Amino acid sequence: MSFLISLPTRRQKPVARAELGLLLGLIALLAFAVFGPMLPASAHQHGFADQRALWGIPCVVDVLSNLPFAIAGAWGLWALRRLAPGALDNTSRALAALFFAGLLCTALGSSVYHWQPQDAGLLWDRLGMVLPFAGLLGLAASRVSERAGWAMAGAVLLAGPMAVLWWAHTGNLMPWAVVQLGGMLVVVALACLPRCDGALAVHLGAVIGLYAVAKLFEAADHAVFDATHQWVSGHSIKHVFAAGAAWPVLLALAALRNSAARSAPHVTLSGQNGAHAVGVAHISRA
């Protein structure tokens, strides 16, 4: 009967430990979101520095600076379609698709909001942001295991809309802040863990750095607008850097596709001594 007993391997133990740590971290974030202090929204949250209109578009630069989100999203979905069916595991493919589709939703929601900045538009802007957050955190958690990736994406897809609706109902921004900033802390922690076999090799440090720069420009909206002699605002630049956080994911897909192309068999046909229209396949691997 000894052959029926399956002991955990040395490789399985750290994965289980990491999953438990991830679960405890999510519970802590949930507790802070529910029992943390009230965080009211700024009275000037809609008072963006750049109010210029052009071609009938109000706040034109803040609206059009959402184009990088749409470009990154469309590019990513196209890159996923170009991957061979077995080049990427189903979990990573689905989470990456959620991330890139979410960028398209973010571009739309943010454009609608900046066209006429008010609470109603901001609600749709934030709901659109939930999707790329879920995809990105799911990809980060898949470094631990596929199960962790699915669980993380599902948790964000559930908690994100609830946090947005809670803010719309009560004015308390704390749950949304936990989803947004707490989620980045989770990514920081996951970046310190080794990547399991098969997970998409996204450089999480680059994602974190680009997102941090975006938040700095967001906070310096008016200061940047004044420093550039009212040429561009910090919030417009924030959009560009936030969309740039998709670049490490795109690079990971490109590296995977190049690797698959190098390892694919190359077949050449050559005739032999009087053979008529008969080719002999010579197969070599790059």
The pLDDT assigned to 127 comes to: 96
CATH of 14-285, one of 1.10.3470, 3.40.50, 3.30.450, 1.20.1070: 1.20.1070
* Nearest CA among 236, 286, 234 for reference residue 265: 286
Residues 6+ apart with CB under 8 A from 121: 109, 112, 113, 114, 115
Q: What is the pLDDT of residue 86?
A: 80
For residue 56, the tally of other CB atoms under 10 A from its CB is 6
Digit-coded pLDDT (tens) for 156-194: 999 999 999 999 999 999 999 999 999 999 999 999 888
State the pTM of this model: 0.85
Q: Over the chain, what is the mean pLDDT? A: 87
Residue range 42-67: mean pLDDT, rounded: 92
Q: Is the pLDDT of residue 51 over 50?
A: yes
Check whether 278 has a pLDDT greater than 90: no
- How many Å apart are CA 241 and CA 134, to the nearest integer? 19
How far is the CA of 285 from the CAs of 57, 138, 198, 212, 268, in angstroms?
Answer: 55, 34, 22, 43, 12
CB 56 within 8 A of CB 65: no
Q: Based on the number of CB atoms within 10 Å of its own CB, is 230 exposed (0-12), middle (13-18) or buried (19 or more)?
A: exposed
Buried residues in 140-168 as b, exposed as e (16+ CB within 10 A): bbbbbbbebbbbbbebbbebbeebbebbe
In this prediction, residue 222 carries a pLDDT of 96
Report the pLDDT value the prediction gives residue 177, as an integer from 0 to 100.
95
- Which pair of structure tokens corresponds to residue 192? 């310190």
The pLDDT value given to residue 259: 74
pLDDT, residue 263, reads 65
Residues 47-71 have a mean pLDDT of: 94
Give the pLDDT mean for 78-104: 93
pLDDT in tens, 137-155: 999 999 999 999 999 999 9
pLDDT score of 115 more than 90: yes
Asked if pLDDT for residue 15 goes beyond 90, the answer is no
Confidence (pLDDT) at 261: 66
Name which of 135-139, 209-213, 230-234, 278-282 the model is least confident about: 278-282
Predicted pLDDT at 283: 44
What are the residue ranges spanned by the domains of the chain?
14-285
pLDDT for position 194: 84
Percent above pLDDT 90 for the chain? 71
pLDDT of residue 199: 81
Cα(36)–Cα(210) distance, integer angstroms: 28
Lowest mean pLDDT among 12-21, 60-69, 106-115, 216-225: 12-21
pLDDT digits (tens, 9 = 90+) for 250-273: 999 999 888 766 665 555 444 444
Mean pLDDT lowest among 96-105, 166-175, 194-203: 194-203
Cβ neighbourhood burial of 216 (10 Å; 0-12, 13-18, 19+): middle
